[in-house]
Chain A
């Protein structure tokens, strides 16, 4: 079983839609959770960084962590064509190592 499971998509939504991206993980020791956005032929760009369970909001983005069910979500409100990218979840433990999902490809159609 992989440490992190993420639906690869592709996911296609109309502009303005609410997007929900999800990951599940198996290691209960994970305490740090990151979401990255990666445009084609670019390096991943950090979007959100959260610690433990709960919600964190930053503009149109909300990260949600449910440690009891080992479930991580990223919500994008009022999605824009510029949000078209691959989104990677990355939980980590206190051992300074992060485990990346394979990424979900998102296309926002104008």
Chain B
């Protein structure tokens, strides 16, 4: 069974640009969550999508947005990039059981560097 796939794996942008990251969840998983990982802050929750709807959102500015498609694939977008946005962006998919998300299975991440 294929795991969570994230693209691109590495990218370099300059301040003010925007970036779009993509995530393909494990087949059958309908929940996709996004996390930002930095050395000082650890993993911080960005948002979760389930059945094309944003179900939860973390404390990030509106420059961070996402969406989910009918095939459960998800994208996140960061506009007007700042130096502090440099991080590893991780996508996790899960098999929803009832109203609970269940275990999170992570991809390898997209490492963003903002210059």
Residues of A within 8 A of B (CB): 32, 34, 36, 42-46, 49, 88, 90, 92, 94-103
Q: Is there contact, CB below 8 Å, between B45 and A97? A: yes
Closest CB in chain B relative to A9 CB, distance in Å? 13
Contacts of B100 in A (CB 8 A): 32, 94, 96
Does B104 interact with chain A (Cβ within 8 Å)?
Answer: yes
Does B64 interact with chain A (Cβ within 8 Å)?
Answer: no
Closest CB in chain A relative to B115 CB, distance in Å? 20
CB contact list, B86-115 vs A, under 8 A: 90, 96, 99-101, 103-109
Q: Is there contact, CB below 8 Å, between A100 and B101? A: no
For residue A86, which residue of chain B has the nearest CB?
B42
Does B41 interact with chain A (Cβ within 8 Å)?
Answer: yes
CB contact list, B33-77 vs A, under 8 A: 35, 41-45, 48, 50, 55-56
For residue B58, which residue of chain A has the nearest CB?
A97
Chain B binding site: helix, strand, loop or mixed by DSSP? strand
Known contacts A96-B31, A96-B56, A100-B35, A46 near B99 by CB under 8 Å:
no
Contacts of B31 in A (CB 8 A): 96
Query: Can you offer 13 A-B residue contacts whose CB atoms are under 8 A?
Result: A36-B106, A43-B4, A43-B106, A43-B107, A46-B105, A46-B106, A92-B101, A96-B48, A97-B101, A98-B104, A99-B45, A100-B35, A100-B44
Contacts of A49 in B (CB 8 A): 103
Closest CB in chain A relative to B39 CB, distance in Å? 9
Contacts of A44 in B (CB 8 A): 43, 90, 106
Contacts of B105 in A (CB 8 A): 46
Closest CB in chain B relative to A5 CB, distance in Å? 11
Q: Which of B4, B42, B45, B103 contacts A88 (CB 8 A)?
A: B42
